[in-house]
Copies of this chain bind each other. A is one copy, B any other.
Amino acid sequence: MATGDTTYSKILLDESELPTQWYNLVADLPEPPPPALHPGTHEPAGPDDFAPLFPTALIEQEVTTQRYVDIPGGVLDVYRLWRPSPLFRARRLEALLDTPARIYYKYEGVSPAGSHKPNTAVPQAYYNHQEGITKLTTETGAGQWGSALAFATAQYGMECEVWQVAASYRAKPHRRTMMQIWGATVHSSPSEVTDYGRSLLAQDPDQPGSLGIAISEAVSMAVADPLTRYALGSVLNHVLLHQTIIGEEALLQLAKVGETPDLLVGCTGGGSNFGGLSFPFLREKLAGRMSPTIRCVEPAACPTLTKGEYRYDFGDTAGLTPLMKMHTLGHDFIPEPIHAGGLRYHGMSPLVSHLHEQGMVEAISVPQTECFAAALQFAKAEGIVPAPEPTHALAAAIREALVCKESGQEKVILTALCGHGHLDLASYEQYLSGQMVDYDLPDEQISAALQGVPILD
C-alpha cells in the first residue's frame, strides 16, 4: 500500500522481496537445547543414526549452529508459486469486536496445498532430489502434510507414497483425491504393503489405524530401499528452520506499515507453524529491538505444554525414533478425536519445548467449541474460512482483543492463519448443528500416560 495509507487490508511483498535465507534460532539461544538420544544406547544421536531416513543436507540442518541457511534457487522457484504470502490487517474483525487492538494475520492458506506445510515439504523434496533420491514416503493424519508432500514431490518429478491413517482415509476421501491429483500413491494405514501393516490387518481387518502405525509403515518402506527416504512434517529442527520464512516475511510486512507487535499467538501441534512465525521475532526480541509476548495456543484436549512434562520421550508410539527432550503427555497418549487433527500430537518440538522451559514463550489451552465460535466470527468478518488448527490462535487473539476492549489498550496482535478450512467443512457442520463437544482431560489420565515414558534425567 501507499505510504501513510490507513485503509489497507493486506500488506503484500513483491517476489523480489522474498527472503532468501531461513533463520536458525539455535545460533542465538543463550543455552542450547538438549540433544536427541539414540533409542537403544541413550547416547546423543549422531548423523549416522539419521542417514537411512533423511538426506545429508537435512541432517546437517538438523544440527547446524549457523545463524542463517541460504534457500536454494530451486526451492525459491517453487516458493514463488505462492510466496511471499499476504499479511492481513483484520480491520473488519476489529470493528466486529469493537476493540482498540490492531490484529494482523499472516495467511498461509494461499499455498497450493492450503497450509504452511509446503514451506518445508518443498525443500525436503528438493534436497532429496539433489542427492539422487527418487521417492519419498510419509504418513498423514488430517491430510495436510500428505498433500503438501505430494505437491512438493511433483515439482521435482519424484514419487510420493503416503500412509493415511485408516480412519482419516475413510472419513476424508477428498484429501486422498488431492494427493492423487499431484501424483501420489495413497495407502490406508495399516496397509497390505508392509509386514507390520499386514500383521495388524490379520488381527483386525477394520483396524482404524493411528499416526504411530502410519509412521512405522512409511519408515519401514524408506529404510528398505536405497533410493527412498522418509519425510517428517513437523517437530524437528530442520522443519522449523524452513518455516521461518513465515516470520521473516511478516517482519518485513509489519515494518512496511511501521508496526511492532505486542503479542504473537500461534497454534501448536508439533510446533512448526508456531516456530515459523515466532522465531524471527524472538531473534529481534533477544537483540532488544522489540519485546513482544509470545504465546503458544494448544487444544484443551491435548495440552502438551500446559499440562505435559518436560522430559525425554519418543516421537512415535512404537518407540522407534530417537528420544527427544520435549513437553510430552506420554508417547502412548491418544488424544480425543478433536477436529484440529493437526494438533493431536502427544509431544512438542524440542526447540519450542526448550523455549517454554526457558520462559521465552508462554502457553495456554483453549477448548474446541470456543475455537469454532471464534472461527465463525472471523469468517463472517474477514471472509476466509479457517482450518480447525489456526482457530485456536484466532480464539486466543480474540480473547486478547476483548481484554484490550476493557482496558483501552491499543495492542498490536500478530497471529498465523496457517491454513484454510475448505476440506474441513464437515467439522463446521458439526459445530453449526450443535453437536460439537469439548473433552475434559483429567490430570490422572495424563499421569497414567506419562508412566510409560523412560526416565533419563
Interface residues of chain A, those whose CB is within 8 Å of chain B, are: 1-2, 5, 7-10, 12, 14-16, 77, 80-82, 88, 92, 110-114, 151, 154-155, 173-174, 177-178, 180-183, 376, 379-380, 382-385, 420, 422-423, 425-426, 428-429, 432
Contact (A385, B178) CB under 8 Å given A81-B9, A380-B183, A422-B423: yes
CA–CA, A425 and B82, complex, Å: 21
Cβ A181 vs Cβ B428 within 8 A: yes
* Interchain residue pairs with CB less than 8 A apart (18): A1-B15, A2-B16, A8-B80, A9-B77, A12-B12, A12-B14, A92-B155, A110-B110, A112-B379, A112-B383, A112-B384, A114-B422, A173-B429, A181-B428, A420-B422, A422-B422, A422-B423, A423-B425
Q: Which residues of B contact A432 (CB under 8 A)?
A: 177, 180-181
B contact residues around A14 at 8 Å (CB): 1-2, 12
Q: Which residues of B contact A111 (CB under 8 A)?
A: 383
Q: Given A1-B15, A173-B429, 18 more contacts at CB 8 Å? A: A1-B14, A2-B14, A2-B16, A7-B77, A9-B15, A9-B77, A9-B80, A10-B15, A10-B81, A81-B382, A112-B384, A154-B380, A177-B428, A178-B385, A180-B429, A181-B379, A181-B425, A422-B422
A423, chain B: closest CB distance, angstroms: 6
Q: Which B residues are CB-close (under 8 A) to A428?
A: 177-178, 180-181
A177 to B436, CA, bound (A): 15
Contacts of A77 in B (CB 8 A): 7, 9
In the complex formed, the residue of B with least CB distance to A430 is B177
Q: How far is the CA of A92 from the CA of B173 in the complex (A)?
A: 28
Closest beta carbon of chain B to A301's beta carbon, Å: 23
Determine the chain B residues whose CB is within 8 A of the CB of A382 once the complex forms: 81, 112
Cβ–Cβ < 8 Å partners of A379 in chain B: 112, 181-182
B82/A383 in contact, CB under 8 A: yes
Q: Tell me which residues across on chain B come within 8 A of A8, comparing CB atoms.
A: 15, 80
- Residues of chain B contacted by A181 (CB below 8 angstroms): 376, 379-380, 385, 425, 428, 432
Question: Would A425 and B380 count as touching, CB distance under 8 A?
Answer: no
